[in-house]
Amino acid sequence: MYRKHYLKGYQYNPPQPKYYPFELNLVKSNEMFIQINPEYNNFYSELKIAIEKRENEIIKELNQNNLLNQLTLCTEKIMIILERIKNESPMIDNIIIVGSFANRTMNVTKLSSDLVLILNYYQKGIFQNFMIQLGEIFMQAIKTEPIISQNKFKCLIKAYGFSFIGDVSINFRFAVRQENFFQIKDINLRHEMMRTLASIRHASFNKTCANSSVRTISRLLRDIASRNRRIAIMNPWMIDIVSYYVVFHNLQTNELPLPQAFMRVFELLSAGLFTTSSIGILDPCENYAFSVHANMTLAAQEALMEEAQILLLKLTQEKFHEVFNIKNENETKNKDAFDYEEIIRNEFNNAFKYNDNNNNQDLEQEEEEEEDTNDSDVIYLGEQAIEVVEVE
């Protein structure tokens, strides 16, 4: 019984519980409620062929790209240098590779490696000196490699780390050990270092839960997100955790097959998994109950659900070439298929306005700001030069 409020014009509304969205895949195990159509077997076999074809194309593009070899060479050189510095100086405690480079789920459009340096202590003014020393050693290592020396790198400095950006990018992020973490007085810097520590937990989770199906789904979702702006609303950790969820979280003891798991991604997203009325997926790397989509805005939630429904309809109509961006001349075309894309977009636009034109204008403004940073200072290290841009 809730306490009655006798204030005039005030009505107490008790909090409504959140639910998981309805999922057809969990009902299919009980044959009393639903019978599986045998035609689904042909559909899943065709979907598996399309998935394998697109995955082979992605791997082929990565193998033929010379920039990936340059990135691996740069990362190996820097890891050797940092291990030597770690043994000599007491400042560095540990060096960890995180992100898609460690998980091997990257795409050709974004070739970058992320390195996390855990420090024993943190003092003001020590960061820039350490950055310049590391930049000198880095440029000396580049001169020995003729393949890498052709690129021109630009160094972007931030409060929590720095990054070398060229044809390939290498990002360095700093964090402090837990016993010395609360000595940092800057709240923004503390928040960024908390995000860095979370990326270490995510990398360890991906390493312990490594699976071929999970990696394939994660690679395909990143490929779709590189072409679709609304699927790109999901951050890399959301893509990894959704890929793990659809494969292993089922009523069976075994993992779900690859085509069924891939369809399950869009079934869950279109049913409203990442909306305010849903619990979503709880972060397994946090000690408290925290949903993965808690930081998403309402516009992003609606746009993601809308685009997932459109892609799910394209998959059910066997339009695999539109989803995976592949060419298949022998693909069967269903004459009875109806295009629901305009209907879905009109309904969502009437309920909640989400314009991609505003996002395009914001991206153009960001690109113009990046071009304006060309008139910044330059630090000369030997014969070559690194351009330094301070970012607030």
pTM, 2 dp: 0.77
Indicate the range of 9-23, 145-159, 250-264, 306-320 predicted with least confidence. 9-23
Q: What is the DSSP letter of 153?
A: -
Average pLDDT over residues 133-155: 67
- DSSP for 89-120? -SSEEEEEEESHHHHT--BTTB-EEEEEEEES
Q: What are phi and psi of 338, to 5 degrees?
A: -120, 140
pLDDT in tens, 114-141: 999 888 877 767 766 776 777 677 767 7
SS3 assignment for 1-59: CCCCCCCCCCCCCCCCCCECCCCHHHHCCCCCCCCCCCHHHHHHHHHHHHHHHHHHHHH
Q: Report whether pLDDT(143) > 60.
A: yes
Model confidence band, residue 375 (pLDDT cutoffs 50, 70, 90): very low
Identify which of 298, 234, 290, 236 has the alpha carbon closest to the alpha carbon of residue 266.
234
Average pLDDT over residues 69-85: 83
The secondary structure element, H or E, covering residue 389 is: strand 384-390
Q: How far apart are CA 246 and CA 232, in angstroms?
A: 19
The pLDDT, as a whole number, for residue 304 is 92
Average pLDDT over residues 99-105: 86
The secondary structure element, H or E, covering residue 140 is: helix 126-143
The pLDDT, as a whole number, for residue 352 is 54
Q: How far apart are CA 54 and CA 46, in angstroms?
A: 13
pLDDT in tens, 203-257: 999 988 888 999 999 999 999 999 988 999 999 999 999 999 999 887 777 888 8
The pLDDT, as a whole number, for residue 26 is 60
Average pLDDT, the chain: 75
In the numeric block, the tokens 């075994």 are attached to 254
Query: How far are the Cα atoms of 297, 298, 305 from residue 231, in angstroms, in the given order?
Result: 14, 15, 9
State the pairing for strand pair 169-176/92-98.
unpaired
Question: Which two three-digit tokens encode residue 146?
Answer: 């003729």
Average pLDDT over residues 47-66: 88
Q: What percent of the chain has a predicted confidence (pLDDT) above 70?
A: 67
Domains within the chain, CATH numbers bracketed = 24-58+211-337 (1.10.1410.40), 65-207+370-390 (3.30.460.10)
